[in-house]
């Protein structure tokens, strides 16, 4: 088209020059050169390379299925006959708005996802027209948000491929990822099976097989069984789905489709995809579900429960460490009693408080020697007093003992222990 117009214009310039040649040769030459130079310079247009752009050709105001690459292009009789629409084709990284949905147990969860795409589809010039018709970058963002919002709601409420509880929803991030990728790409991904959700087949074919979800183990679906044995342990099997698989005529074909879907989802998750979405005129490179987050009062309760669990775990570890240290002290020093070993470990750990001092004050033997070395005297009735050198009314509280004083007393206690027992203490 551009070549034909160029030839016509040059022929017209030659005709005009030929007519002027009859009048004045110099005038004809000047007219030919001026018109030709103006025609060429007017038609030279540049498609920017930084940031990268594509140019959509416009002929007589109508977009053509012709895409011009970056660099110099010639558009005869610009902008009357030919024009150019520039389309920026650099990667668009877009964080979707949080999708808030309720699980069947009435908990509110938020799904956070992000997507990367570029305008246009390789070897498909009409895709750029589709992209512009979709509203460009901002229009595509709105459409994708609407698609994800709708599919997220149907997934959360589904009794086949959705979660039964908010706890299960947090563990099904891979499922959400596959479901949302399919909702965006549509027919770009090949269909796997109409009877059983693809994620269910994925768990079934995994080696070793994954535990079925509550809905998959629902007797109504008849895909799997999940229960508890006599000891309260969770037991499960895929006998129901195995029977369905055995009845399939093309078992290898089904397995190949599932594996291909896993491969496609993995590629798009890692940003290595190149999937054209013809409905939007874009190529999707990456789609990632970043987080499945529980909201509201359930989140506060879950956070509190997790905090309490961590504290319990820390207490268990601390008790185990203390027990191990006590056992080691008694192995190294058979003459040491259990009570004395516990006291030494507590002092090693810096647990010098009023309650500890009261226990030490009520003891005898090594513990009493150690207490005396620290500057505390045993009081009648099992109570402990302050440093005997301090006057009444001016006693220093244990909690007010400085770090330097404590270190000095511990060092003194080590020396007295060595003098009394003829060896160095392990504290």
Q: Does 217 share its domain with 265?
A: yes
- The answer as to whether 93 is a domain residue is no
Q: Does 147 share its domain with 255?
A: yes
Angle between helices 198-205 and 251-269 (to 10 degrees): 100
pLDDT band at 8 (very low <50, low <70, confident <90, very high): very high
Q: Does 127 share its domain with 239?
A: yes
pLDDT digits (tens, 9 = 90+) for 88-144: 999 999 999 898 888 888 888 899 999 999 999 999 999 999 999 999 999 999 999
What is the share, in percent, of the chain residues with pLDDT greater than 90? 38
Query: pLDDT: is 337 or 402 the higher one?
Result: 337
Burial class (CB in 10 A: 0-12, 13-18, 19+), 53: buried
Rg (CA), the chain: 40
Q: Does 200 share its domain with 264?
A: yes
The pLDDT value recorded for residue 307 is 73
Average pLDDT score, the chain: 81
d(CA 180, CA 95) in angstroms, rounded, equals: 14
- The answer as to whether 325 is a domain residue is no
pLDDT band at 239 (very low <50, low <70, confident <90, very high): very high
Q: Does 150 share its domain with 207?
A: yes
Q: Does 123 share its domain with 267?
A: yes
Query: pLDDT: is 56 or 395 the higher one?
Result: 56
Q: Does 35 share its domain with 122?
A: no
Answer whether residue 146 shows pLDDT above 70.
yes
Q: Does 229 share its domain with 360?
A: no
pLDDT digits (tens, 9 = 90+) for 350-380: 654 544 444 444 443 444 444 444 444 444 4
What is the share, in percent, of the chain residues with pLDDT greater than 70? 80
Among 211, 201, 202, 214, residue whose Cα is nearest residue 241:
201
d(CA 116, CA 271) in angstroms, rounded, equals: 8
pLDDT band at 398 (very low <50, low <70, confident <90, very high): very low
Question: Domain residues for 30?
Answer: 2-88
Q: Does 276 share its domain with 362?
A: no
The number of beta carbons lying within 10 Å of the beta carbon of residue 115 is 24
The pLDDT value recorded for residue 406 is 56
Contacts of 135 (CB under 8 A, 6+ apart): 142, 143
Among 306, 288, 311, 265, residue whose Cα is nearest residue 167:
306
pLDDT digits (tens, 9 = 90+) for 21-69: 888 888 889 999 999 999 999 999 999 998 899 999 999 999 999 999 9
- The answer as to whether 317 is a domain residue is no
């Amino acid at each position: 088209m551009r070549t034909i117009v160029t030839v016509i214009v040059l022929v017209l310039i030659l005709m005009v020059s030929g007519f002027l040649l009859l009048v004045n040769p110099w005038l004809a030459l000047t007219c030919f050169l001026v018109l030709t130079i103006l025609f060429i310079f007017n038609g030279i247009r540049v498609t920017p390379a930084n940031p990268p752009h594509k140019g959509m050709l416009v002929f007589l105001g109508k977009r053509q299925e012709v895409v011009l690459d970056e660099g110099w292009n010639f558009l005869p009789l610009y902008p009357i006959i030919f024009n150019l629409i520039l389309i920026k084709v650099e990667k668009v990284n877009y964080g979707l708005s949080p999708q808030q949905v309720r699980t069947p147990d009435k908990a509110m969860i938020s799904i956070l996802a992000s997507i990367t795409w570029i305008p246009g589809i390789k070897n498909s010039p009409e895709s750029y027209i589709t992209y512009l018709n979709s509203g460009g970058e901002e229009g595509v963002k709105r459409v994708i948000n609407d698609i994800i919002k709708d599919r997220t709601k149907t997934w959360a409420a589904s009794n086949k491929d959705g979660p039964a509880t908010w706890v299960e929803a947090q563990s099904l991030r891979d499922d959400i990822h596959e479901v949302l990728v399919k909702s965006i790409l549509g027919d770009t991904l090949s269909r796997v099976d109409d009877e059983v959700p693809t994620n269910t087949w994925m768990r079934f074919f995994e080696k070793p097989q994954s535990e079925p979800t509550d809905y998959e183990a629902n007797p109504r679906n008849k895909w799997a069984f999940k229960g508890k044995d006599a000891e309260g342990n969770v037991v499960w099997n895929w006998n129901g789905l195995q029977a369905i698989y055995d009845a399939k005529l093309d078992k290898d074909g089904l397995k190949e489709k599932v594996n291909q879907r896993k491969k496609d989802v993995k590629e798009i998750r890692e940003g290595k995809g190149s999937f054209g979405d013809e409905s939007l005129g874009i190529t999707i490179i990456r789609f990632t579900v970043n987080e499945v987050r529980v909201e509201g009062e359930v989140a506060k309760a879950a956070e509190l429960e997790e905090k309490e669990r961590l504290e319990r775990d820390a207490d268990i570890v601390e008790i185990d460490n203390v027990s191990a240290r006590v056992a080691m002290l008694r192995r190294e020093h058979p003459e040491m009693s259990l009570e004395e070993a516990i006291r030494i470990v507590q002092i090693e750990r810096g647990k010098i408080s009023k309650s500890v001092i009261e226990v030490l004050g009520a003891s005898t033997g090594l513990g009493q020697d150690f207490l005396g070395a620290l500057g505390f005297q045993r009081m009648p009735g099992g109570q402990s007093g302050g440093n005997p050198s301090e006057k009444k009314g001016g006693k220093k509280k244990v909690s007010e003992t400085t770090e330097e004083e404590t270190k000095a007393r511990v060092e003194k206690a080590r020396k007295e222990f060595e003098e009394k027992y003829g060896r160095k203490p392990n504290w």
